A and B are shown apart, each in its own frame.
Chain A
Amino acid sequence: DARVTQTPRHKVTEMGQEVTMRCQPILGHNTVFWYRQTMMQGLELLAYFRNRAPLDDSGMPKDRFSAEMPDATLATLKIQPSEPRDSAVYFCASGLVLGGGSRDIQYFGAGTRLSVL
C-alpha cells in the first residue's frame, strides 16, 4: 500500500531552533508539495517540486524557510530560526502530474505537528 511518509510526526522545539521535516513521496510520483495548515489560515501551499526541481515557492517565507529535494525519495522543509507563529501542521503531498486539465490527485502524508514554544 503506497503512501507518503513524513517524519517526525510531532515536534516540539524552542523559539530560535532549527527544525527539519522530511517527506518520502510515493515511488513514481513526479510532483511533491509542501503545505501548512492552521486553524486561522487553513491549508496553504508553501512550495512544490516537479521532477525534483522547485517550481514555485512563493507561498513560503524566504527568510527562514527552505525546501529541497536532494533525491527522488526525499524532500525536506527546513525552518531556521523557528518562531512561535510557525506552529502548525505541515503536510507533504505527492502526485503523478500529467499536466493540462488532467485529474492529478495529490496523496497527503500524515503531517508533522510542529509546536514552537
Chain B
Amino acid sequence: GQNIDQPTEMTATEGAIVQINCTYQTSGFNGLFWYQQHAGEAPTFLSYNVLDGLEEKGRFSSFLSRSKGYSYLLLKELQMKDSASYLCAVRVDNYGQNFVFGPGTRLSVLP
C-alpha cells in the first residue's frame, strides 16, 4: 500500500519560520513534490526533490531524506498569504506519473 503522513494543522505567526513534515512509505519512489493549495482553489507547484538534501527557492526550501522516507517544507518570513494547505506528493513509479498525495497540512498564519 501507499502511505503518506503529514500533520493536519499548524499555526504560526507572521514573520516566523515554520517547518511542515512529511513521511512516506510507498511501493516506489521517483521524486517528491510539494504543492500549495489555497481554500477553494487549485493546487500549485512549490518544490521538487529527487535526491537527498535541501532545495532552496526564495522563502521556501524543501528537504529530502530517501533512507528515512522523510521530507519537510520550510517556509521563512511567513506572510498572511501563506495561509493555505500544503500537500506532499510522491511519484511512485519510474516511467509513468502515478502520484500519491498526502492528506495536506492546513497552515494558518496569524498577525
Contact = CB atoms under 8 A, between A and B. Distances in A.
B50 interface: yes
B42 A109 contact: yes
A103 B98 contact: no
B101 interface: yes
Which range holds the interface residue count of chain B? 20 to 34
Interface in A88-111: 91, 95, 97, 99-101, 103-111
Output the residue of B33, B42, B45, B104 with the most chain A CB within 10 A: B42
Contacts of B41: 110
Interface string B81-111: 0000001010100111111111110000000
Nearest to A92: B42
Interface stretch (A14-22, A39-47, A63-71, A76-84): A39-47
Nearest to B31: A101
A56 B96 CA distance: 8
Given A43-B104, A106-B33, A106-B99, 8 more contacts: A33-B97, A33-B99, A42-B87, A43-B43, A48-B97, A56-B98, A103-B48, A109-B42
